[in-house]
Amino acid sequence: MILPLPTNIAIFLTIWWTVLFCVLPLGSTSHHEAGIPVPGGGDPSSPVNPNLRRKFITTTWVSALVFAAFWLVLYFHLIHLPDPSQI
């Protein structure tokens, strides 16, 4: 079963946001853990260097792999989903 493009985009974006929240805490060191004073009265648990560009890239390729696995499972009918037009 091939899903329509808008559905595929919505599924990919849902996977992307879920993976982003899993990747965000990886490799982060807070100001408190590093023993660095917090600039401008910020939160001591804020990351020293969040590396957002690297985390967005990591999130994108991990999401692409998860989505590809999901798409292949549907394409080869390894999981049967009901046809919405038959409901």
Give the model confidence (pLDDT) of 4-31 as tens digits. Answer: 999 999 999 999 999 999 999 999 999 9
Question: How do the domains of the chain map onto residue ranges?
Answer: 5-86
Tell me what pLDDT residue 3 has: 84
What is the 3 state secondary structure string of the chain? CCCCHHHHHHHHHHHHHHHHHHHCCCCCCEHHHHCCCCHHHCCCCCECCCCHHHHHHHHHHHHHHHHHHHHHHHHCCCCCCCCHHHC
pLDDT band at 2; cut points 50, 70, 90? confident
Give per-residue pLDDT as tens, 56-87: 999 999 999 999 999 999 999 898 877 777 77
Residue 1: is its pLDDT beyond 70? no
